[in-house]
Amino acid sequence: MTTLLVDERDQLFVLDEMLEIEGLCGFSKFAEHSQSEIHMVLAEAHKFAKSELYPTNVEADRNGCVYDPETQTVTFPECLHKPYEQFKEAGWLAMCDSPEVGGSGLPLTVGTAVSELFYAGSFCLYGAAQLSHAGAKVIEKYGTDEQKTLYMTRLFSGEWMGSMCLTEPDAGSDVGAIRTSAKPNDDGTYSISGTKIFITAGEHDLTENIIHMVLARVVGDPPGTKGLSLFIVPKHLADAGGTIIERNDVVCTGIEHKMGLHGLATCTMVYGDRGLCTGYLLGERGKGIEEMFVMMNEQRLLVGLEGLSFSSAAFLHAVDYASKRIQGVSVYPSKGDKTGPVAIINHPDVKRMLLTMKAHVEGGRALAYFTSYCIDRAGVARGEVAEHWRGLVDLMIPIVKAYLTGNAWEVTGMAIQCAGGYGYCSDYPFERPARDCKITAIFEGTNGIQSMDLMFRKLIGNRLENFRHLMSRFDRTIQRADEISGLKIYAEAVKEAKVGLENTVGQFLEWADGQNRLHLYAKAAPFLEAMGDVILGWLHLWQLTVAYPKLLDFIGNKTEEEAGQILRNNRNAAFYYGKVLSAKFYIGTILKRTQGKFAESTSDASPVLDVFYESFTG
């Protein structure tokens, strides 16, 4: 099947024309890089993803990971081993990290574009590798010099891999209920004892060592999240030079049999079954949650990218299939002798589905890249300006995670619908992404948790300060669009949606201080979806202000026939035409539905709060 992952031209549009990423190279932090280098990196990433990552998907899905109960080990699909070695040798994992830790120091925005591509190429391989990066980052920030030398450098290089170990059988998302314990030893180490579940890549054979980042409670420390600490727990203990000494008391007792992602093991891990599990305190005792959130924030952005990557590949495959599947007669008035069956891409309902997917993918890409851009800008700014950028990041992270992963389930389902019966069959590249993508709405805090984070911490807890900064960006884009002939109607539509968003948030702030506060728990998830809709409307309007004038440069004064010929023969013109159409479709059609979501969000009807168990079961 054709290798279709991510639209490189649209990636470059967002990076170069929308965000003007070359401007980042003007800051000393990124001064060694250039736009041409960024293009080269992205081109190499496309080449690697298409030639080495994507071909592993079918085999990894069908063969899956294998657990051996006798040795308590997990074997990853053989097809992933060679690409991982290539990935490691190329230094892709640390491309955005400081040269001081072995990285290339590229902007995170570039790394985000590469990550979207690699997730689309092989989620199973890249998803496992990125956990190593998250572990390395938290050690970089909180580790001792010895921990950095032994663990951080090997995680950044990919020589060893890592895992995040939070979830427990009786705790789930309630992190404060964690029961894994850590007993201090005389030599400064800790004896770890407990069980973690749903641990991605907790056991495998891709690397000789796995470094587990384990959240546990030191014996005697207080209950709840405040009593938790973070520990480095290696699969194999090693000396200061990295030479393996012995196996730690860390075992995998089984892997989950899942709906999707068969090539990426999800493990149950037992620590200290023999009372001999050695762990090393990372950072400060009792500060484990704060330290873990260094990993969590990075992972939530990446999980949003995971959802986007599934949507992107599903959309491009749907376009490819619809352009080749001949069925049905065109409903358009025939021209000349052109009669008979046509490709289904000519049918209006198929066009509607494809345009819906295109609008969500391109808007989602802008959302993810803009959020990474805010992180880059925060990293080069100082004082209040840096706080402004960090505030935008805090506000956007739960939306990136929840909105893009929620849309992935919709987009991959729509791609199946475009392919009809064949879309439901495993011989075609549609049903696997739908199975695989669903977990992204559950990873790193379910989307319901993200919506409550947005509602109670990022909006109400912040007293809308960061929200107002975002709205000021809306205003600038709306004003710019209003000044471009032909875009006024779209500027007005986004302005109307913005007002609806502001009114809804204002209502929530009133409820938070009154007797209707409980309503906010029921409204949080639908509201996050509505806020995501409006943010995508703003981003599409932003893209319109860039793409529409460039399209007019090609066809502005041409006849319909001349314009049609230009669009058929000039790929750049056709690209801008497609950008304009998807943005207009989103703002003029999809965004219109959001007013109903606001009406739902501000209603004080209370069925959700009033319903009880017997009401469901009769």
Catalytic positions are: 444
Nearest to 265 by CA among 68, 52, 49: 68
Structure tokens at 314: 């599903």
β-bridge partners, 252: 269
User: How far apart (Å, rounded) are the C-alpha atoms in residues 546 and 78?
Assistant: 45
Q: What is the 3-state secondary structure (H, E, C) of 87-146?
A: HHHCCCCCCCCCHHHCCCCCCHHHHHHHHHHHHHHCHHHHHHHHHHHHHHHHHHHHCCHH
Neighbours of 71 (CB within 10 A): 10
Task: Check: CB of residue 306 under 8 Å from CB of residue 292.
Answer: no
* 322 contacts: CB under 8 Å, gap ≥ 6: 343, 344, 345, 350, 354, 418, 419
> What is the sign, positive or negative, of the torsion defined by CA atoms of 293, 294, 299, 300?
positive
Task: Check: CB of residue 270 under 8 Å from CB of residue 169.
Answer: no
* 569 contacts: CB under 8 Å, gap ≥ 6: none
DSSP-H helix ranges across 340-430: 348-380, 383-419
Nearest to 402 by CA among 473, 308, 310, 474: 308
User: How far apart (Å, rounded) are the C-alpha atoms in residues 407 and 582?
Assistant: 16
Nearest to 404 by CA among 500, 583, 501, 533: 533
* 260 contacts: CB under 8 Å, gap ≥ 6: 61, 432, 435, 436, 437, 438, 439
CA angle at 48 for the pair 46 and 49, rounded to the nearest 5°: 65
List C-alpha distances in Å: 107 to 32, 38, 139, 309, 442: 11, 9, 21, 20, 28
User: How far apart (Å, rounded) are the C-alpha atoms in residues 372 and 111?
Assistant: 9
Q: What single-letter DSSP state applies at residue 558?
A: -
The DSSP element (H or E) to which 82 belongs, if any, is helix 81-89
- By CB neighbour count within 10 A (0-12 exposed, 13-18 middle, 19+ buried), where does 198 fall? buried
Helices 123-142 & 288-324 angle (0-180, nearest 10)? 160
The DSSP element (H or E) to which 500 belongs, if any, is helix 488-512
* 417 contacts: CB under 8 Å, gap ≥ 6: 353, 423
